[in-house]
A = this chain, B = another copy of it.
Amino acid sequence: MSFKSTVQRRLANRVKDALRDVSLQLALLNHQVGARLKLRDVDFDCLNLLNQHGPLGPGALAKLAGLHPATMTGVLDRLEKAGWATRDRDREDRRAVVVRAAPERGREIFELYAGMNGSMDDICADYTVEQLEIIEEFLRRTAAAGHDSTVKLTD
């Protein structure tokens, strides 16, 4: 890592501090949104993973979420029972099922995030196109770094 100046190093530390705060605040927001939907944190996290990655098998979802397969069975039982997800037979492997988030329920989640989404639109409106491109690139690289770090921890 090659910082060009002490100012830049200090700024990097401030960026990392701000990132930690973002992570914390969004985790707390997610917890409240989940509570409003009467979902346990672990259930809501798994639902978010399904919304992000698309349909997955319970084993793959468990691995992604860092959960035991038996735990995932319980989580999916609750999500299915509450109408947030469905389990369907896999067409190619009769052992397997495919789990999908219920698309018609997405609006309920969307509505609870409306405040945050509106605030983000307002914030983004203050930046130029060039600035937003820089910000997006930074966030993409940060997400990739987070993913890589997680993979390294589970090896």
Cβ of A142 within 8 Å of any chain B Cβ, yes or no, is yes
Q: How far is the CA of A64 from the CA of B35 in the complex (A)?
A: 14
The answer to whether residues A66 and B35 also contact, given A136-B15, A138-B123, A150-B29 and a CB cut-off of 8 A, is: yes
For A4, the chain B residues whose CB sits under 8 A away are 125
Dominant SS among interface residues on chain A: helix
Cβ of A25 within 8 Å of any chain B Cβ, yes or no, is yes
Q: Number of A interface residues, CB 8 Å?
A: 77
Given A26-B146, A115-B148; 12 other pairs, CB 8 A cutoff = A3-B121, A11-B124, A22-B23, A23-B23, A29-B149, A33-B153, A41-B41, A112-B153, A115-B152, A123-B138, A123-B142, A127-B138
